[in-house]
Amino acid sequence: MSAQEPYLAFPETVVNVLRQPIDPKALTAAPRGLTSIKSIYITERLNEAFGLGRWYVRDEIVEVQRPESVVDRDGNEKVQPPMVVVRAHLELLDYPWFRATSYGGNNNADLGDAYKGAVSDAISKICAMYLGVAADVYKGLSAEPPKEVVRQSQTVIPKPNSNGHAKTQGSNDATGNEAISEGKAKRFIAIALSTNKSRDEIGEALASEGLSDIKYCPWKGKTYEKLVEWAGR
């Protein structure tokens, strides 16, 4: 902006809309103790502030990392889902002086979902950094943090039944040397989380195979391969 140009800013009415607290329903728990914001709430906030069809996003793919198998320090094999990184630009038709750019990334077994997630991630960052939308969430000041999700480093914790007691042993549970390794259990959880499977969905998938916990999955037979295939969908 040159010295002759006047200071440009959004009207107070627009600012008030942008800075409204985000609905707690927009928040979801993410791995590693982070909090994510459902993209539809960001879209609704932009529509409310600037008008339907009065803003748009241009994006470009920066990098696509294909899925690969890696071995950690303990010799456990892990599958890393594909990662997509994009650069997104938000432009406002009624405020042509506004230009904002940010990067976003997402890893998902489905490349289409990974791309969509990366763009949503970039838009959310732009809205927080440049427009103040849900800025408190990024500061860690959200008043109602979402419920904790299963960590990638943990196996599934069986949910109690209606009587408040822990679930009983599954009909196909294996123990000791008959069960899969801890590394394989973690691999299954990592793949399931990367495709946005919920805790309930994981529990139902395990129960359908007669398992109370992934760590009790027998290494013999096709049960583990079947579960991994389901987790990656």
Counting Cα atoms < 13 Å in the Cβ hemisphere of 126 gives 29
50 & 22 share domain: yes
218 & 195 share domain: yes
Residue pair 218/174 in contact (Cβ under 8 Å)? The answer is: yes
Judge whether 193 lies within some domain.
yes
Judge whether 98 lies within some domain.
yes
Judge whether 198 lies within some domain.
yes
> Could you tell me which of 104, 85, 79, 87 has the C-alpha nearest to residue 195?
79
CATH number at residue 128: 3.30.390.80
21 & 99 share domain: yes
pLDDT in tens, 198-221: 888 888 889 899 998 888 899 888
**pTM for this structure?**
0.56
Judge whether 80 lies within some domain.
yes
Where do the H-state alpha helices sit in 72-148? 111-131, 135-139
75 & 128 share domain: yes
Cβ-proximal residues to 215 (8 Å cutoff; 6+ apart), any chain: 155, 179, 180, 182, 185
| Listed residues 78, 112, 139: the one ending a domain | 139
Q: What is the mean pLDDT of the chain?
A: 80
| Listed residues 118, 139, 160: the one ending a domain | 139
Q: Which residues pair with 63 in a beta bridge?
A: 85
What local confidence, expressed as pLDDT, does residue 165 receive? 41
Give the distance from CA 194 to its chain's centroid: 8
Query: What is the pairing mode between strands 99-107 and 77-80?
Result: unpaired
30 & 124 share domain: yes
Judge whether 147 lies within some domain.
no
pLDDT in tens, 130-172: 999 988 777 765 545 445 443 443 444 444 444 444 456 778 8
Report the distance separating Cα 75 and Cα 157, nearest Å: 24
19 & 117 share domain: yes
107 & 181 share domain: no
Name the domain count of the chain: 2
Q: What sign for the dihedral angle of Cα 175, 213, 153, 106?
A: positive
Residue pair 206/197 in contact (Cβ under 8 Å)? The answer is: no
Tokens (6 digits) for 129: 């950094």
pLDDT in tens, 162-208: 444 445 677 888 888 888 887 788 888 878 887 878 888 888 889 89
17 & 125 share domain: yes
Residue pair 59/91 in contact (Cβ under 8 Å)? The answer is: no
Residue pair 16/131 in contact (Cβ under 8 Å)? The answer is: no
DSSP annotation of 215 reads G
Range of the domain at 118: 12-139
Judge whether 5 lies within some domain.
no
